[in-house]
Amino acid sequence: MTLPSSSDLALLRRWIAARVKLLLRNPRSSFFTFAFPLLFLVLFNGLNGDTRVAAIGPAGGKVAFAQFYTPSIGIFGLTMACYTSVIVGISTARDMGLLKRVRGTPLPMGIYIGSWLTGAVLSGLAAVLLMFVVAVPVFGVDVYASTLPAAIVTLVLGAASLAALGLAVATLARTADQALPIAQFTFLPLSFISGVFYPLDGAPQWLVTVANIFPLKHIVDAFDACFVPGTPNGGWSWGDLAVIAIWGIAGLRVASRRFRWEPGAGDPGALRAAIARA
Amino acid sequence: MTQGRSRGNVPTMITNSLEAAVAERRHRPADGPAIEVRGLRKAYGSTQALDGVDLTVRRGELLAVLGPNGAGKTTLVEILEGHRSASDGEVTVLGFDPADRERAFRERIGIVTQEEGLDPLLTVRESVELYSAAYPDPRDAGEVLALVGLADRPDVRTAALSGGQRRRLELALAIAGNPELIFLDEPTTGFDPAARRHSWELIAGLRELGTTILLTTHYLDEAQHLADRVVVVAGGRVIAEGTPESLGAGDAPEALISFRDPGTALPLPQDAEVERRDGRIAFRTSAPTRDLAPLVAWAAERDAELDGLTVTRPSLEDVYLELTKESA
């Protein structure tokens, strides 16, 4: 694998710009990425205005519901943008013959797929930012300068890991029809046991143990802790970040080994070969 | 894949060095054939899709691969494009082994696949610009759209195009990178006659520009109209090859001479099998001029007319139907 040339970086930028433009043109993906999580945010924060819940992370104590729920549902938006939309987007592109088209041009598949993942990460970050832009003035959510770097790094790493896992799932699904149910069945149950919709203080230990295997709870915990007053160490949850990174790397490995450029059975390993050659 | 693919005229003095590798790249023959295929086989499980195909396409030539559905045309083309690997045989395209799918190879080819591949939310112009950005020397998008007849629809999203317009955009994407070699896999299937004519003009125009074109089709008139040479594929093999005219005439080019029987003794050729039926005389000959000469002289001497005289060659369609019937 050689270092990307400046013209390849220009190509990548061009494709990322196109990907963002396409995302904004697609009403379905804009809805699920931006409107849908925002709706949850407003609804649940409004309904639970006076409730106080157990704080996530080492600081302990109790926080206002919105202080817990805003970062949590932010991760819901992040997952929709980075995980679900990558699964649906890439498997649909494959069904539509777009991966085959790219494969027959000089555009390296790594750049094409990279533009998908980057576009997903950018839209996920934008969705979370939008939620905070609403929640800070409307629901009085506090953001702390001391934990902001940790919050941003957690969010970016989480987004990248989710996008990589989305790519892996898109690779394993044979068609787009298969991909959407797989995305929902893997994400939704996990979101309920990972503290996305409500705190896990009352949950049985075995359920928490199961949730801890998967990356979603670690993303939620690490991000939430940054919004609890008095969280030590600048909010860095190194253990959680390590689990998130390991899942992301595993996702990339599966995707590069099993990548297929056409629906059904394709040539496995083509992406790996393409990346090595590019 | 077998060993010993030809990679061009590498000087034998330089061996086993980086220099050799560089020299090999530089010496990819620009004057060698565009496509060279020897003993190509491809099996999908127990199905033998290609069963020993030999094929040569010269630079600047338009070769039509003709064959019924399931003949192996698409498998052949997809191996040449680098989309599939061969089970056995030697394949060289523009001096490259397409199975390596080198970027330099992909920069030199353009592909219209049989099935579609368009981004529904991109506009026509955006599609051409985006997909041609990776080529080192792309054609101007406006020029490309003018060539395929989409100059008046640059800002329409591809989802809103008609079927024929989508196919033309596919063609636009294939030529946008200014390739040396274009693969057209059944490019006019499903076209109305006017759209087909238009595409034919475009394809003929590309050929005039010196682009090598490999076209698959199951339309005989398309092959006859466009191709310098035709290869007929059936059952995974090349069963006939030649120019549309020579192929129409078959291996032993035979013409059918026929006229109304004047009812008298005639100087008919000795070796021909003469058929007399329905008041007509007919025979096949590989030398129609030679065999007609005595008859014409005979008629001229008597100031007579050979009524209803016809000299016909079997059409490509006759030969094609005959050939594919045999192999089926």
pLDDT tens per residue, range A68-93: 999 999 999 999 999 999 999 999 99
Nearest residue of A to residue B118 by CA position?
A: A98
Candidates B111, B115, B121; nearest CB to A25: B121
Q: What is the pLDDT of residue B327?
A: 54
If residue A148 lies in a helix (H) or strand (E), which one and from where to where? helix A148-172
Chain B residue closest in CA terms to A18: B130
> Whole-angstrom Cα distance, residue B105 to residue A126?
39
Is the CB of residue A96 less than 8 Å away from at least one CB of chain B? Answer: yes
Q: In B, which residues are within 8 Å of A15 by CB distance? A: 130
Indicate whether B316 pLDDT > 80. Answer: no
pLDDT of A65 strictly over 60: yes
- How many percent of chain B have pLDDT more than 90? 45
pLDDT exceeds 90 at position B142:
yes
Strand partners of residue B241:
B231
Looking at chain A, which residue has its C-alpha nearest residue B133?
Answer: A11
pLDDT of residue B30: 61
Q: Taking CA atoms, what residue in A is nearest to B106?
A: A106
Confidence of residue A110 (pLDDT cuts 50, 70, 90): very high
Identify the helix (H) or strand (E) that includes residue B213. Answer: strand B212-217
Q: State whether A18 and B126 contact (CB < 8 Å).
A: yes
Q: Can you give the pTM of this predicted structure? A: 0.81
Least confident piece of the model among A135-144, B2-11, B65-74, B150-159: B2-11
A124-134 per-position pLDDT tens digit: 999 999 999 99
| Beta-carbon separation of A105 and B106 below 8 A | yes
The predicted model gives B158-182 an average pLDDT of 93
Among chain A residues, CA nearest to B44: A265
DSSP label of B125: H
- Asked whether residue B8 carries a pLDDT value surpassing 70, the answer given is no
pLDDT of residue A95: 94
A50 pLDDT tier (thresholds 50, 70, 90):
confident
- Contact status, residue A118 vs residue A82, Cβ threshold 8 Å: no
Measured between CB atoms, which of A18, A103, A267 is closest to B130?
A18
Q: Is the pLDDT of residue B4 over 50?
A: no
Of B88, B90, B157, residue with least CA distance to B123: B157
CA-closest candidate to residue B67, choices B282, B261, B223: B223
Q: How confident is the model at residue A264 (pLDDT cuts 50, 70, 90)?
A: confident
B231-247 residue pLDDT tens: 998 889 898 888 887 77
Whether the CB-CB separation of B89 and B41 falls below 8 Å is answered with yes
Average pLDDT taken over every residue of chain A? 91
8 Å CB contact of B113 and A101: yes
Chain A, chain B: beta-carbon pairs less than 8 Å apart: 69
User: Is residue B313 predicted with pLDDT exceeding 80?
Assistant: no
Give yes or no for residue A273 having a pLDDT over 90. Answer: no
Confidence tier at B255 by pLDDT (50, 70, 90): confident
Which pLDDT band holds residue B310 (cuts at 50, 70, 90)?
A: confident
A98 vs B contacts (CB less than 8 Å): 117-119
How far apart are the CA of B5 and the nearest CA of chain A, in angstroms?
20
Q: Which residues of B touch A (CB under 8 A)?
A: 81-85, 101-103, 106-107, 109, 111, 113, 115-122, 126, 130-131, 133-136, 173, 177
A61, pLDDT greater than 60:
yes
User: What percent of chain B has pLDDT above 70?
Assistant: 85
Residue of chain A whose alpha carbon sits nearest to that of B81: A104
Around Cβ A175, how many Cβ atoms within 10 Å? 12
Pairing mode, strands B62-66 and B229-234: parallel
Tokens at residue B43, please?
């099996």
Task: Please give the angle made by the CA atoms of B84, B89 and B95, to the nearest 5 degrees.
Answer: 75
Q: Does the beta-carbon distance from A106 to B116 stay under 8 Å?
A: no
On the CB side of B286, CA atoms within 13 Å amount to 6
Residues of chain B with Cβ-Cβ distance to A278 below 8 Å are: 103
Contact A96 B116 (CB under 8 A): yes
Retrieve residue B282's tokens.
């007919």
State the DSSP string of A243-254. HHHHHHHHHHHH
Cα distance between residue B244 and residue B317, in whole Å: 10
B48 vs B286, residue with greater confidence: B48
User: Which residue's entry shows tokens 């070769």?
Assistant: B63
Looking at chain B, which residue has its C-alpha nearest residue A12? B134
Cα distance between residue B274 and residue B260, in whole Å: 13
Position B130 pLDDT exceeds 70: yes
At residue B29, the pLDDT reads 53
For chain B, the C-alpha Rg in angstroms (whole number) is 25
Residue B163 has pLDDT above 80, yes or no: yes
**Partners of residue B113 in chain A, C-beta under 8 Å:** 97, 100-101, 104
- Provide the pLDDT for residue B317: 67
Q: Which of B73-82, B182-191, B272-281 has the highest average model confidence (pLDDT)?
A: B73-82
> Which tens digit of pLDDT belongs to each residue from A178-237?
998 999 999 999 999 999 988 888 889 999 999 999 999 999 999 999 999 989 899 999
* B19 pLDDT tier (thresholds 50, 70, 90): low
Q: Do B134 and A106 touch (CB under 8 A)?
A: yes
Residues of chain A neighbouring B84 (CB-CB closer than 8 A): 267
